[in-house]
Amino acid sequence: MTEEELQMNETSETINENNDSEQTETNNPVSELDELKKQVSEANDKFLRLYAEFDNYKRRTIKERAELLQTAGKEVILSFLPIIDDFERALKAADEKADLNAYKEGISLIHNKFINTLSAKGLTPLESIGKEFNVDLHEAITKIPAPTEDLKGKVIDETEKGYTLNGHVVRFAKVIIGE
């Protein structure tokens, strides 16, 4: 064979290969389209399931939050019930005209129990007298002349005690400041 014949054979083989690949490509777009439709359908199904799951999650958390708000104070209320019982016993004792000193001592014990219960829940009183006036902790009621120079700008008296709950001010101390 001559060189020309060899080239013609190679060219005809290349054309035959191209024809074969064109036939498989014409079959491929249909199968690719089916495959893509299947993938889109699967993705859409996954999306719908995920959306429904998220919607259920939102409903569940809203319900749990509402239940939590309804019973949030239950623990605190239960801790106050023994103190209420003590007050009721003290009122009965007052009706029986008990010894005044014993009655005062009983009321003092109830007061201490109440303060301890509140402290256990995170409530702490603010110490204000003799401290620098702080607008983040105190509410100034009035200013009076300071009895000594070192009390100027400091809290001289406290008309209402301030409290913090777990480090956050829940009630400002109402104070009198020396000027």
Q: Give 14 or 57, the one with higher predicted confidence.
A: 57
Q: Give the Cα separation of 121 and 68 in Å (integer).
A: 18
16-28 in b/e form (b: 16+ CB < 10 A) is eeeeeeeeeeeee
With a CB cutoff of 8 Å and minimum separation 6, the contacts of 158 are 128, 129, 173, 174, 175, 176
Label residue 117 exposed, middle or buried (CB < 10 Å: 0-12, 13-18, 19+): middle
Class for the domain spanning 124-179: mainly beta
Average pLDDT, the chain: 85
Mean pLDDT of the region 123-140: 93
Task: Give the strand order in the sheet containing 123-125.
Answer: 123-125, 163-165, 168-171
pTM: 0.57
Mean pLDDT of the region 56-63: 95
- Spatial CA neighbour of 175 closest among 118, 129, 108: 129
Q: Where are the domains of the chain?
A: 1-70, 73-121, 124-179
Q: Give 45 or 97, the one with higher predicted confidence.
A: 45
Q: Is 166 left (phi over 0), alpha (psi -120 to 50) or beta?
A: left
Residue 25: pLDDT band with limits 50, 70, 90: very low
